[in-house]
A and B are shown apart, each in its own frame.
Chain A
């Protein structure tokens, strides 16, 4: 298939996801806030499960011991 059919005059920036005219991609400068938003969007699954993972850890033998150490004012390692 020719590239004629599968190219687009706009493409999303791989770093920030912004829609950038293909002819101007060399000039594109990412907005740092947008880069952060884009990365956070891709981590949304992990972020959503963070509380569950933390609760599971805190309920594990290692997590309970870490809590006991912290309550006693001693470092874990």
Chain B
């Protein structure tokens, strides 16, 4: 089995560098992604591709950098930072030209060399605050 951390790092970082095919290479057909901000689970490689493309539409220059990883058994925990400029519509928000930075955590479960399940939690509210979609009260 290849290095599970490397597999997950590639899956998290490379789609944002334009290599969406890495999803087909590294994601199992029965993949299920549980993302806190999504109403429904992300299903299969095509579901994950659509999920990433949604955010790439809003943030065409978007990138994700893996900050840290811990592996145990068949799971890898990854802490990452995402950054991008909103020049496209996202979540009904018209393009603002603002750059946002969010942090997130993904726990990935692998079967062999493929990712079969993930739990994704990221700072959705922080993105909305940074884009001005949610009012941030003045600090005292």
* Residues of chain A having any CB pair with chain B under 8 Å: 1, 3, 5-12, 17-19, 21, 37-38, 41-42
A10 touches B136 (CB 8 A): no
B99 touches A6 (CB 8 A): no
- Which residue in B97, B100, B130, B134 is a CB contact (below 8 Å) of A42? B97
Closest approach, in angstroms, between the C-beta of A5 and any C-beta of chain B?
7
Contacts of A12 in B (CB 8 A): 96, 98-100, 130-131
Contacts A8-B123, A8-B130, A11-B130: A19 and B101 contacting too (C-beta < 8 A)? yes
Contact residues of B: prevailing secondary structure: loop
- Which residue in A7, A19, A41, A42 is a CB contact (below 8 Å) of B83? A19
Complex Cα–Cα for A5 and B124 (A): 11
Complex Cα–Cα for A1 and B136 (A): 10
A7 touches B129 (CB 8 A): yes
Leading 10 A-B pairs by shortest Cβ distance? A41-B97, A12-B98, A10-B101, A19-B99, A8-B126, A19-B101, A8-B129, A17-B98, A6-B136, A17-B97
Contacts of A37 in B (CB 8 A): 97
Complex Cα–Cα for A42 and B85 (A): 13
Complex Cα–Cα for A38 and B96 (A): 9
Complex Cα–Cα for A10 and B82 (A): 12
Contacts of B87 in A (CB 8 A): 41
B126 touches A9 (CB 8 A): yes
Give chain B interface residues in 65-116, CB to chain A under 8 Å: 83, 85, 87, 95-103
Complex Cα–Cα for A38 and B98 (A): 8
Complex Cα–Cα for A5 and B137 (A): 10
Pairs across A and B, CB under 8 Å, 14 listed? A1-B137, A6-B125, A6-B129, A6-B137, A7-B136, A8-B126, A8-B129, A9-B101, A10-B126, A11-B130, A17-B97, A21-B101, A41-B87, A41-B95
